[in-house]
Amino acid sequence: MIETKNLSKSFKDIKAVRDVSFRIPTNSITTIAGADGSGKSTIFKMLMGLIKKDAGSIYLKNEDIGSDFNQITRLTGYMPERFSLYPDLRVEENLNFYADIHQVPRSRREKLKQRLLETTGMIQFKNRRARALSGGMKQKLALSSILLSAPELVLLDEPTTGVDPLSRIEFSNIIKDLKQEGKTIFISTPYLDEAENSDHIIFLKEGKIIKKGPMKTIRKQFPARIFSVLPRGNIYEIMDQMHRHPDLKNSIYIRGKFIKYIQVSSKNHLDLLPAISVKEESPKLEDIFLYYERQSTINPEGLHASTD
């Protein structure tokens, strides 16, 4: 659906996006992940023509769009990090407004609106003005407005920030259904557990792609082993000590009540960790992301970004 080639953008002397090339295949979910400030939002804004690219090309359905963003904006529902709701309109009026401007047929609108209101717990607030909603509710309403009006392509920049865990699951389900309907979804998120069902993944660091490709290939090619350690003693004290250990400092992190250990080389350093139990696990997307992020710090030239 969309392809970028060598997209770059600098703000004064900060290189925000560097030579970024990727594809968002039609009828798929593509997730872009990266630390804060890695360039995710800048990429979204360049795709929508909201900031001017310094170099590179954007292709829509195999055609270079040049500097004409009319076609792309017509096909796209875009939710920026900071989305503007109409504060004086009620919840349902906001949803209707976005559906109206995107000319969503009434039958589809009513069905999906009802589902969005019910599954996200907004139904009891549907007559409340947007300005009187809690922070998380505003975010839910913003995301619902975009999903309701979703044209062919849906661009979501960190849509679930501040949204509670139960509603995050519901939104994931709705996004999967949109894909079933034939839509193309491009999404960024700091919660990698949400991205487990994506078809394609792009990992970004300091404006550069450090890994990209189909999810299946990325999983298959993952070269490290992951262990889950239930620590004996205070987890923060242990992490503090272990971070000073050269063999462990880049290989451990906390997830829930466990210390995760990424075994990169053939030598295993698990014996250094005071443990009640140790279990090997299949890697989660977050493990894979952290592995490539940390590897790119240790050995910036040693990674082959693409598995295409």
Partner 1 sequence: MPALIEIKDLTKKFGHFTAVNAINFSIRQGEILGFLGPNGAGKTTTIKMINGLLKISSGQVLIKGLDARKNRREIKKITGYMSQKFSLYPLLTSLENIEFFGGISGLSRHNIQKKKEEIQPLIPRPILTQKIVDIPPGMKQKIALFVCLMTDPEIILLDEPTSGVDPEVRRNFWMEIYQLKKSGKTILVSTHNLDEVEYADRIIIIHRGNIILEGEPSELQARQGKDSIEALFKDAIINYDNQLSRTGGAECSD
- Binding range to partner 1, per CB under 8 A, among 52-60, 61-69, 127-135, 209-217: 127-135
If one asks whether residue 274 binds partner 1 (CB under 8 A), the answer comes out as no
If one asks whether residue 278 binds partner 1 (CB under 8 A), the answer comes out as no
Tell the smallest beta-carbon distance from residue 75 to partner 1 (Å).
27
Nearer to partner 1, 99 or 133 (CB): 133
Distance in angstroms (rounded) separating the CA atoms of residues 90 and 131: 9
Cβ partners under 8 Å of residue 210, min gap 6: 203, 204, 292, 293, 296, 303, 305
Tell the smallest beta-carbon distance from residue 161 to partner 1 (Å).
4
- The identity of residue 214, as a single letter, is P
Tell the smallest beta-carbon distance from residue 171 to partner 1 (Å).
12
Tell the smallest beta-carbon distance from residue 19 to partner 1 (Å).
21
In angstroms, the first-to-last Cα distance of the chain is 16
If one asks whether residue 113 binds partner 1 (CB under 8 A), the answer comes out as no
- Binding range to partner 1, per CB under 8 A, among 49-57, 71-79, 98-106, 125-133: 125-133
Distance in angstroms (rounded) separating the CA atoms of residues 245 and 160: 36
If one asks whether residue 139 binds partner 1 (CB under 8 A), the answer comes out as yes
Q: Single out the residue of 9, 113, 140, 183 in contact with partner 1 (rule: CB under 8 A).
A: 140
Say if residues 109 and 100 touch (Cβ distance below 8 Å): no
What is each CA distance from 206 to 8, 24, 96, 210, 280, in whole angstroms?
12, 21, 39, 9, 31
If one asks whether residue 267 binds partner 1 (CB under 8 A), the answer comes out as no
Residue with tokens 């953008």: 9
- Binding range to partner 1, per CB under 8 A, among 20-28, 46-54, 69-77, 285-293: 285-293
- Binding range to partner 1, per CB under 8 A, among 56-64, 110-118, 286-294, 298-306: 286-294
Q: Scan residues 36-55 and list those touching partner 1 (CB under 8 A).
A: 36-37
DSSP 147-193: HHH--SEEEEESTTTT--HHHHHHHHHHHHHHHHTT-EEEEE-S-GG
- Binding range to partner 1, per CB under 8 A, among 2-10, 143-151, 166-174, 220-228: 166-174
Say if residues 12 and 167 touch (Cβ distance below 8 Å): no
Q: Scan residues 205-224 and list those touching partner 1 (CB under 8 A).
A: none
Tell the smallest beta-carbon distance from residue 257 to partner 1 (Å).
4
Distance in angstroms (rounded) separating the CA atoms of residues 301 and 241: 30
Distance in angstroms (rounded) separating the CA atoms of residues 224 and 268: 11
DSSP state of 248: T
Q: Single out the residue of 61, 63, 110, 166 in contact with partner 1 (rule: CB under 8 A).
A: 166
Q: How many residues sit in the footprint of partner 1 (CB under 8 A)?
A: 44
If one asks whether residue 115 binds partner 1 (CB under 8 A), the answer comes out as no
Spatial CA neighbour of 93 closest among 139, 143, 145 = 145
- Six-digit token string for 99: 């559906």
If one asks whether residue 298 binds partner 1 (CB under 8 A), the answer comes out as no
List residues binding partner 1 (CB under 8 A).
14, 34-37, 81, 121, 124-125, 127-128, 132-137, 139-140, 158, 161-168, 190-192, 235-236, 239-240, 253-257, 286, 289-290, 293
